[in-house]
Chains A and B, each alone.
Chain A
């Protein structure tokens, strides 16, 4: 049985490196199977470019199943494209129609500079994590895993927050380029668990200080981040982060 295919036009952001100025380039692709994923469509384009001795489009990806957080891309004005609760690598071509023009851009955030084409540098996220995104425990010498019972509801809510894949869509979507949802997800996860509760306010303070230092904007509670987050991280976690942050400020 023949698969359904479509013809599309792509407007893709091309940028040589961090210092160069970028611009859109237009490409046409024919007979793309609607069952292929968005990134497989880009593979087809790249293979074509290679065969024409042109440089393929650089973009980040690895797991291709929505869990590593490596893929990014702003597609037709939306982080991770026109489908909800998925990453770019999980997007499939059946979401597009025959003859459609698809615009592909990198995350446009000052704190995530473009490396090349659609690749950006998210090292700033690493630094925020290094500033406090952990429980200060070393290997060994910890109690039995069942020593402290944790209410199922708390464990479940911690898991909701822990589902963050660190992709950066929230920052890319936020008009202030704030990393609040990302920071909140970690602070909230650990604050919900007795193991992380001990350092909760210190953690909130350190991570927020680092976020500010790295030039991310303030949170104005618009909620756009929640809408575009592929893992459905809820704004409620920002509220918990604010509480921990407040406690930290009162204490100091």
Chain B
């Protein structure tokens, strides 16, 4: 078994990062020009990295599948970004942000990485302000903060309900400047198809131009993947339609270990689905739980009447409403972490108290009546006006008058490619940043911490750590991929995969298989999992994959815009990734964070962690098609904090 070396520097936790920077290798300015770095993905993590590396003098080639880096999925983040600035003087410190993140992640993340994240968080806010990001301010002219789930301090910076947009546009502006200066070669509407390994090191990628269909090789002294999360494996999620797991999956098949694939986050407050042709689900920001109260009818007959359209929620008197979060978790009430809130909603609807008027019978209420009575409509409008408007556009219901209908859905993937302290995967020269790696959120991510991690990786961590690798590359001259056998082989592999997809010539669309896969995963590898279901899921996914390769249909050609081919490519990978998720969930015989195994719950239905046996990162190694993947374990050791059971019932 390969030993996973996390390369955590020696010394005290708080000194590790400064020590690392003081002793790492750097590349001198004259040599930087001779080094090519490939950055795949230009969301927060990739955009920030590409811009920063180019500013330093490296030659960067960047790639994204949209028509502009400004459209990466990061743009959709609403709520905010955490930092330990302690501007409100409420006692925040780097240690506290670090501690909350480890605890929120249910003690399944690497201590040294998380500490570094908290340490660089403040610089992100400084950088964004310098770029012209219009964060919310108070009348004094100073920056405003709000609070988020899982924390007792106000440390979240925000730009209206569009924080991700503004941070991404900041990174995009820095990237645009470098493109204009000729330091970054930007490839829009281009999808990664494979990663090329030469002599054991990542040396480049093969891409497909989404307009012309051209398959092309690109050489790099190192490759950075910043391709986001794989939540879309569930078909329905809050992710953008094009978000995919293909880049990380290709890396996995080339030898990069995949860590904790089963750790996915289900967000409790999304608009429930309306029907079969639903294409995606819309998130309603976590901030709404500050003022909204969550409930379902106390009586089953009321729930049935609501589902039948014979009764309206307003008709149910207070004493017949079950505010189940307040009932179960008196200390945190409606502000329990996401995993806890999601499972509680499922528990109620599984027992017949759901409120949606469709086959699913899912859904619970998020009610602002009480907050409006207490604070007035104006205050609520000022706080959440844009979200209420968005809700009304989608549902045609007015949340000022009738409670919002919400239900949990897939939102974020904590799992991702395994990386060491330097953000390097198990393939030398292949680095992974942002949601695509597994590093900082353990088994559950706290709100407003993904933006922080993406930008920390992109601006302040990777541009340093990658140099420790590149310092040894300065003697390797830039190469023409056409002259390397490995690139030719990879290109041929890509072309034959595309031909294989095109020539199935069956009669079902890629979307059909994607939806079917989503159903299996949601039912059996979703909010609650058990051994039997997981074993079934593995078999069902295998069968579905087989059918996909026998009955897929893609119209059109390969040398032009072909969205059906793009989808099929991604679904082919999801059909394999889904199976790995089930393996991971099956092998982890405990409940922690977003991973809930029904066999491992307390009598009250709370998650039961098993630290003695499972306090490790599960890193999976690809062993070949139709072979079982091999599990490697990185034990987690906590030097600075005491590992406890999460408790949100009492303060």
Interface residues of A (CB under 8 A from B): 1, 3, 16-17, 33, 35-37, 39-40, 43-44, 47, 49-51, 53-56, 58, 60-70, 83, 86, 90, 92, 94, 115-116, 119, 121-123, 125-126, 129-131, 133-140, 142-146, 149-152, 155-156, 158-159, 162-163, 165-166, 189-190, 193, 195-196
Contacts and interface: CB of A to CB of B under 8 A. Distances in A.
A33 B134 contact: no
A145 B179 CA distance: 26
Nearest to B242: A62
Contacts of B390: 65-66, 90
Which 8 residue pairs spanning A and B have beta carbons closest together? A149-B141, A130-B180, A134-B173, A142-B130, A159-B134, A158-B134, A145-B129, A138-B55
B126 A134 contact: no
B125 interface: yes
B558 to A, nearest CB: 13
16 contacts: A35-B275, A50-B509, A53-B555, A63-B75, A64-B280, A68-B73, A68-B76, A70-B66, A86-B393, A90-B390, A121-B67, A137-B130, A139-B174, A146-B143, A152-B141, A159-B159
Majority-rule SS of A interface residues: loop
B8 interface: no
Contact of A145 (B51, B85, B177): B85
B156 interface: no
B359 to A, nearest CB: 11
A130 B179 contact: yes
B105 interface: no
Given A134-B174, A142-B127, A40 B279 contact: yes
Contacts of B211: 115
Given A61-B241, A137-B131, A39 B279 contact: yes
B357 A62 contact: no
Given A129-B173, A139-B51, A152-B141, A115 B561 contact: yes
A155 B135 contact: yes
Contact of A33 (B125, B169, B172, B277): B277
Given A36-B274, A136-B177, A159-B159, A146 B130 contact: no
Interface residues of B, number: 83
Nearest to B70: A166
Contacts of A90: 390, 393-394
Nearest to A157: B134
Contacts, number: 223
B576 interface: no
Name, among B55, B357, B393, B564, the residue most crowded by chain A CB atoms within 10 Å (CB to CB): B393
Contacts of B405: none
A44 B134 CA distance: 40
A151 B560 contact: no
B68 A55 contact: no
A162 B126 contact: no
B462 to A, nearest CB: 11
A118 to B, nearest CB: 11
Contacts of A131: 180
A139 B52 CA distance: 6
Interface in B347-387: 357-358
B288 to A, nearest CB: 16
Interface string B79-114: 000000101000000000000000000000000000
Given A55-B556, A134-B131, A146 B142 contact: yes
Contact of A94 (B68, B357, B396): B396
A50 B553 contact: yes
Given A1-B309, A145-B143, A158-B132, A135 B563 contact: no
Contact of A123 (B67, B125, B166): B67
B137 A155 contact: yes
A48 to B, nearest CB: 10
Given A123-B188, A158-B134, A193-B134, A55 B277 contact: no
B362 to A, nearest CB: 15
A62 B70 CA distance: 12
A140 B127 CA distance: 7
Contact of B396 (A53, A64, A92): A92
B274 A152 contact: no
Contacts of B132: 135, 158, 189-190, 193, 195-196
A208 B230 CA distance: 40
Contacts of B396: 35, 92, 94
B507 interface: yes
B564 A50 contact: yes
Contacts of A138: 52, 55, 174
Contact of A189 (B52, B134, B186, B555): B134
Interface in B152-203: 159-160, 162, 165-166, 169, 172-174, 176-177, 179-180, 186, 188
Given A50-B509, A139-B127, A150-B137, A62 B55 contact: no
A187 B475 CA distance: 44
Contacts of B76: 63, 65, 67-68
